[in-house]
Structure 1
Amino acid sequence: LFGKIFINDDRFLAILGVISSAFNAAGRVFWGTIGDRVSFKIPLCIIFLCWSLLLTSLPHLPVIFGTQIKVGFGVWLCGLYLLISGVLVYTPTATETLFGPINMAVNYGLVFNAFVFGGLFVSLLSIIIPQFHEWDNLFYLCASMCIL
């Protein structure tokens, strides 16, 4: 919805959805290659830091890019999809390292449910608390959750 408010080009947004999905797919290979060489801890910290920076700056894209909002939104969206693929690559390794190999599938399933609860939490906040009716406050909240 955020992109639809500032960009009235459905074809562009659909193409951007395809391109960002390609970044997600390529990101899994990219982050997997890095994960084969180093521990998951440093790349995951970098991912969360970059994710929070992108989320914090996302509401300001119309000011930053002005008439070139399509370019800025495209770069930001592809960056977000590239980063989320890293989270999905490193989460199984982190789960196994932190909780051990016994019941790994169950533990990973429980950890993966954090996406569900996080989405529900932010959705409820956006309904209940008036300050979160604005886009920028929701993005700031999600960015702060990445840092925690």
Structure 2
Amino acid sequence: MAMKKLIIFLLAVTFVCGGNVIFEDCGSAYEIETVDIEGCERTVPCHISIGAKTNVTVTYTAGFVSHALSQLAVVTLNSVQRETVVSPRACEATWCPVQTHNINLYRARMEMPTNLALNSRGTLNWSITNEFAKRLVCFTVTIQTRSPLNEYLKNLIFD
């Protein structure tokens, strides 16, 4: 019985459902509460159009103060990695210094690269680090790329 409880606990720690997106925490020092990616639903994979500008919102609780932040978002498809353009800078996307023991809000806009394979499944890995290169927020989302035309037709049919 103790082993069963341990397995359930480990699964809960490593595979988190929060917000609109199912994500996996990849070693965050802060506690991620939710991850929302505009246009993604609570299904796997999260469909994102290449070239799309997509809003990303993360809520998290900080256990310690950080004064300077940097961010990196990388898409991996077929073992090929591409950085996404993320704006604004991390300290403009959340309050700096990061407030401890409160729920903090991080809002950014990600631009998917246009040089990605269509209809391919892969991952989006997002990390935010502090001035000491400590990984504060890190999550991975399973994604599938699609063309902007697919996005347009989906919206035309279902809206």
TM range (shorter): under 0.3
Report the TM-score when normalising by structure 2.
0.23
Higher relative contact order, structure no. (Cα contacts within 8 Å, ≥ 6 residues apart): 1
Point out the structure with the larger helix share: 1
Point out the structure with the larger strand share: 2
